[in-house]
Amino acid sequence: MLDLKPQPRTHAPPAKRWRNYYRIYHVLNIGRLGTVFPGVHAGPDVFPSKETAEQHALMFVGAVNPPGRWFVEHAGAWPEGEAAN
């Protein structure tokens, strides 16, 4: 009879570079980025894994925001080439 074989499954390769995106609520002057206006912006660095990117984002958000106020919020880590918008 007919030999039915399952179709091979193709998967996209895992992302090798991840970039953090941040939601900015106030006009800020951030050293390497210069003046940043409210909105969603990509971070300047790329990371080898999503976990590493999120860890760096949490440290950055903790350092930038004063106690009890939110100027910057982490919007997520996305593979290089995709956007959070």
Domain boundaries, the chain: 18-79
The DSSP element (H or E) to which 63 belongs, if any, is helix 50-64
Tell me if the pTM is above 0.85.
Answer: no
DSSP letter for 7, please: P
- Read off the pLDDT of residues 10-61 as tens digits, 9 standing for 90 and up: 776 666 899 999 999 989 888 887 888 999 999 989 999 999 999 999 999 9
- The predicted-structure confidence for 68-81, as pLDDT tens digits, reads as follows 888 999 999 988 87
Going by C-alpha positions, the residue among 11, 24, 13 that lies closest to residue 79 is 13
